[in-house]
């Protein structure tokens, strides 16, 4: 039987302004469009996995404001089970996002309810977590909760995929409990404290080796238009190319990728096959606007791959 994916992470409302470019510090520009979307790295990953047809649970928090019930409903509409999503006192998480004309973005997240996701809450969610075939986490919830999750995953023999976003220094004890560490280019630079360029195989290879030496069992670098780079212990490194696509909004491309990569691995595909599938899912997501609404169904991915 297919074991579920359990995502532990953030649930946000995205406030999205589109403009010709992302303003520099101190610059005021006129935007072209404003929309709200359901987002949050955790919720995006959960919706992406569920839309690909995989049974998926979300563990997280929404606030008791008007956004909270909408955010929970959006998860349910996306096919995600929300029994382990709590409504807490205070505001829901929000993200202020600017999108430039090539689909590039910058994001400020105000965590709100996500900051109240404690290790105690994970203890309450243990019956859901224990069923997982893969646990997916990111860093928009308190770090001590992610550390607890790492210990829980290791103790229960469940693989943990950690998307280190937003990037920050991570404790060695947590990294040792990570099965797949999946930073993008800028997050890799922060983690290894060196320049990394997707079009420079020497820099990506050395960064991936450095990350592998820091503890995780496997490393996958998400390199946007340059595809992804897989580094596993005692195996040759692999580069999986991206699919060429006209990007309109890169928001949540990394979330789409992580969810699809976990879905592929749980279906028994190899890391390179799962990464190719994930590159397709991410490519479709960047060709559409918004975070959760950009996630494709399995049928759409199969049609794209044909
Ligand atoms: O990864 C994209 C997500 O980052 C957005 O949906 C936003 O909510 C932030 O969490």
CA of 252 to the centre of ligand 1 (A): 6
Mutate to test the pocket of ligand 1, among 9, 40, 70, 91 (most ligand atoms within 8 A of CB): 40
Q: How far is the CA of 86 from the centre of ligand 1 (A)?
A: 19
Whole-number Å distance between alpha carbons of 306 and 301: 9
* pLDDT over 90 (residue 1): no
pLDDT per position as a tens digit, 147-174: 999 999 999 999 999 999 999 999 999 9
CA 292 to chain centre: 12
Query: Does 249 contact ligand 1 (Cβ within 6 A)?
Result: no
Residue-level pLDDT at 296: 98
> Which of 98, 252, 255 is the best mutation target for the ligand 1 pocket, counting ligand atoms within 8 Å of the beta carbon and taking the most?
252
Q: Using a 6 Å cutoff on CB, does residue 222 contact ligand 1?
A: no
Task: Give the Å distances, CA to CA, from 193 to 106, 167, 177, 213.
Answer: 21, 11, 22, 14
Q: How far apart are CA 26 and CA 302, in angstroms?
A: 45
Q: Would you call 26 exposed, middle or buried from its count of C-beta atoms within 10 A (0-12, 13-18, 19+)?
A: exposed
Q: Is the pLDDT of residue 23 over 90?
A: yes
Residue 255 catalytic? yes
Q: Please name every residue paired with 134 in a beta bridge, in sequence order, or none if there are none.
A: 5
pTM value?
0.97
| pLDDT for position 109 | 97
Q: 5-11+40-91+114-305: CATH homologous superfamily?
A: Ribokinase (3.40.1190.20)
pLDDT tens readout for residues 47-106: 999 999 999 999 999 999 999 999 999 999 999 999 999 999 999 999 999 999 998 999
Whole-angstrom distance, CA of residue 73 vs CA of residue 246: 31
Share the mean pLDDT of the chain: 97
Strands 85-88 and 93-99: unpaired
Pairing type for strands 56-63 and 33-39 reads unpaired
Q: In the predicted model, is pLDDT for residue 286 greater than 90?
A: yes
Backbone angle region of 103, left / alpha / beta, with phi > 0 → left and psi within -120 to 50 → alpha: left
């Amino acid at each position: 039987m297919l074991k579920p994916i359990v995502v532990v992470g953030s649930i946000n409302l995205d406030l999205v302004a589109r403009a010709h470019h992302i303003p520099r510090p101190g610059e005021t520009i006129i935007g072209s469009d404003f929309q709200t979307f359901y987002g949050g790295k955790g919720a995006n990953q959960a919706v992406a996995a569920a839309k690909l047809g995989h049974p998926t649970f979300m563990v997280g928090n929404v606030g008791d404001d008007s956004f909270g019930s909408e955010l929970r409903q959006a998860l349910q509409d996306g096919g995600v089970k929300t029994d382990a999503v709590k409504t807490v006192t205070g505001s829901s998480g929000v993200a202020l996002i600017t999108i430039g004309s090539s689909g590039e973005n910058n994001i400020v997240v105000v965590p709100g309810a996500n900051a109240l996701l404690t290790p105690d809450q994970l203890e309450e969610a243990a019956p859901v977590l224990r069923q997982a075939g893969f646990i997916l986490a990111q860093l928009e919830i308190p770090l001590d909760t992610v550390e607890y999750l790492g210990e829980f995953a290791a103790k229960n023999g469940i693989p943990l995929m950690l998307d280190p976003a937003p990037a920050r220094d991570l404790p060695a004890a947590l990294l040792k409990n990570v099965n797949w560490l999946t930073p993008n280019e800028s997050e890799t630079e922060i983690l290894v404290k060196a320049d990394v360029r997707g079009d420079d195989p020497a820099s990506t290879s050395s960064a991936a080796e450095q990350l592998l030496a820091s503890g995780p069992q496997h490393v996958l670098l998400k390199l946007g238009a340059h595809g992804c780079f897989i580094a596993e212990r005692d195996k040759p490194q692999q580069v999986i190319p991206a699919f060429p696509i006209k990007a309109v909004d890169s928001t949540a491309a990394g979330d789409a990728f992580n969810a699809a990569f976990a879905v592929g691995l749980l279906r028994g595909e190899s890391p390179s096959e799962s990464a190719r599938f994930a590159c397709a899912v991410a490519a479709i997501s960047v060709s559409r606007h918004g975070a959760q609404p950009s996630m494709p169904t399995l049928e759409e991915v199969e049609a794209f791959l044909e």
